[in-house]
Structure 1
């Protein structure tokens, strides 16, 4: 690879990093309807990826690297399109395919991101089904935390989100989340 090509490829990596960094400052817009809570797209993607990491251990036949990678990039287009909530989607259509194709132009890594996002969106492979459930479990985790600290609106949202789960693994983890309190983990060995 010539020095100029290497420089251009390195610049594409830098651009990709700055684009991904936009997700750390982009708030998830659905929290407006909850009246409580907040989360960036990057925070959500991290939690989704971590849940996928766990799911891959629970289901060792799935491609663990693929499911975690899929979760990490599933909302990547939102760096360009923004995060549209359910009301906004009634009036505005995000051109996610265009956003992803422009990000991927002339960049081999971009093609793999596009492929992962497309597989996630199609939801047909086992990895995609689990990653989509992890996406919902990340939201369930936030709703449960808000519920535990006294917010009332999660009571309205949780039944709808639970209906979106498609795998037994997802439903099992949702049950575990809903059977716990958000602060149980650190109170178990509490002492002064």
Structure 2
């Protein structure tokens, strides 16, 4: 039980681990945990729409894909040019302490291999989460988001994710809540 308590504290560290790419974008901030949550919801959605993938497996891959960053930190694309991390050691060291260590290791190996349908969808969910963040910052005036978007799109492997990325990029990020109902926004209640 002590090892599980340690694991839960380690996972909690992701709430305080920043995604470092935003410093290069010039605006925005997000923790690894925030990123992983939305990526997991996106992965679930992709798997449901795909109709062939094991939905639970995609969710599991998304949920666990960045846990090693509690030990290694988040490295952005600039960092990765110069810094090498031993993520497999971080995975192995954690796996040794977990009663489901072998399953955790297999999950991480599948995600890294990018061979199964489920891992491709999980990787696409990871990139779509970044595309959503880029679109949100673009809508707030960050001109660099337009430069980053084409690279993120080129990382997508499934046609489903590519179509969704295009839709995301052409959708105002505030339209989900700001519905144009002037009466509501002026009076705070529905017109009868």
Same fold (TM over 0.5): yes
Counterpart of 2:108? 117
Shift of 1:106: 4.3
Shift of 1:131: 0.5
**Distance in 2 of aligned mates of 1:26 and 1:19:** 11
**Distance in 1 of aligned mates of 2:104 and 2:179:** 40
Structure 2 portions without partners, runs of 5+: 188-192
Counterpart of 2:46? 55
**Distance in 1 of aligned mates of 2:45 and 2:119:** 15
Q: Note the alpha carbon deviations across 1:17-73, whole angstroms, 9 max, x for none.
A: 000000010000111110001100011100110001111210222111110010011
Q: Does 1:40 align with 2:40?
A: no
**Distance in 2 of aligned mates of 1:158 and 1:91:** 23
Counterpart of 2:17? 26
Shift of 1:108: 3.0
- Aligned pair count reads 183
Counterpart of 1:95? 86
Counterpart of 1:73? 64
83-92 vs 106-115, which moves further: 106-115
**Distance in 1 of aligned mates of 2:69 and 2:109:** 14
Q: Note the alpha carbon deviations across 1:78-99, whole angstroms, 9 max, x for none.
A: 0001111112212211100000
**Distance in 2 of aligned mates of 1:144 and 1:172:** 15
Counterpart of 2:190? none
Tell me: CA distance 1:28–1:22, structure 2 relative to 1, closer, same or farther (3 Å): same
99-108 vs 13-22, which moves further: 99-108
Counterpart of 1:86? 77
Question: Considering only aligned residues, what root-mean-square deviation do their CA atoms show, in Å?
Answer: 1.1
**Distance in 2 of aligned mates of 1:52 and 1:189:** 30
Match of 2:153 among 144, 159, 162: 162
Counterpart of 1:175? 166
Corresponding residue SS for 2:85: coil
**Distance in 1 of aligned mates of 2:66 and 2:156:** 18
Structure 1 portions without partners, runs of 5+: 1-9
Q: Note the alpha carbon deviations across 1:136-175, whole angstroms, 9 max, x for none.
A: 0000000000001111110110011111111011111111
Counterpart of 1:7? none
